[in-house]
Structure 1
């Protein structure tokens, strides 16, 4: 099984290079104006070109309409569209078909019942991202809030289901998260930042090294 590490919310050439040089499998760029990690189409085009051929490129979108998605596809030429809003399974299927790009759907998890919708999305998407459900506050973002969920909720998942784990991960806890959940992929954004929206190259390297070591331990 492929073990993947994704660094999301990258917004500068320097921090993108840190992720690429450290061996990130996926790099992510945010197209959501409310996020401190939001990048313009122009900056996104340059960053995506910088990463091309070195890692798979994902663009995070939140309830984007077709016109906005078309702009992103043209500017970023992404390898993956990451849907982080309230997209229904039908909408996910439509986006995947209309734009011809692999799709990842993020699902917010806070309690066991939140997993009930997982099969309906798994049937129409290429990847599932399990993230912490955002807090019920006016300024909460759909993701990147630095909050974990109870990883023990995933104990009963179908072992054959591949998912990416997100939500509150950082260099100090990613190994434990992998051990407890058996996640084949992990995703981090705020957990490798010095302040909201500002990535810390040293934390990026530490996260990737910790995740790789945890995956190696699982293999033995």
Structure 2
């Protein structure tokens, strides 16, 4: 019996306007992310994120992105947005994830920055504490004002060869309409995440690029 193919899941991250949220929903996004990292050009307040999330059907999952946030910050995010997934994009330890799971009972996604062959292996420490992993490009130390993610950088996808974790994972980092098919085919990713790759400028999403990216990703069977 042949294996039944399925379409790739797509997460659009860092949305700031009703127009872009509606574009992502209409194009078939599976996840929409809201960025609560103050240094990011995609930063949104918990109240604003809640207003945007009200435009989403329950079938599209709400993701809250935080970077080494304290409990008070996360409490405010959880209270306003009630996200389906909490995406941790900083240096959070496995023990911190255990604490957050106990505190909020929410699905946890841990970002793993990738630059060299030793980096994918680091995901092992989150095997028992994370529900999802996100493999993203690690910015070089020489990059000025680098963010934890959303820098438009891709990593060498071959680094994931033979390093697939046991828990579900997404691919991120420098993905665009032009390379998302290649990225999926190279890594076997069943879910992809994009932010800067569908922008005209940092923080300014392009609705048409959102539509084209989702269409391109979902055209690839996995």
TM-score where L is the length of structure 1: 0.94
Which structure carries more helix by proportion? 1
Tell me whether 1:67 sits opposite 2:78 in the alignment: no
Alignment of 1:24-173 (within 5 A): 24-136=29-141, 137-158=143-164, 160-173=166-179
User: Is 1:19 the equivalent of 2:33?
Assistant: no
Gaps of 5+ in 2: 1-5
Alignment counterpart, residue 193 of structure 2, candidates 187, 193, 197: 187
- Higher alpha-carbon deviation: 160-169 or 172-181: 160-169
Task: Return structure 1 stretches of 4+ with deviation > 3 angstroms.
Answer: 158-161
Q: Which has the higher contact order (CA 8 A, sep 6+)?
A: 2
TM-score by length of 2: 0.93
Does the alignment pair 1:200 with 2:211?
no
The structure-2 alpha-carbon separation of the partners of 1:98 and 1:206, relative to structure 1 and needing over 3 Å to count, comes to same
Contact persistence 1:162–1:183 (CA under 8 A)? no
Asked if the contact 1:48–1:77 (Cα under 8 Å) also holds between the matched residues in 2, the reply is no
1:116 CA displacement:
2.0
1:210 pairs with 211, 216, 220, which one? 216
Query: Any stretches of 5+ residues in structure 1 without a counterpart?
Result: none
2:182 matched residue in structure 1: 176
Q: CA deviation at 1:2?
A: 7.5
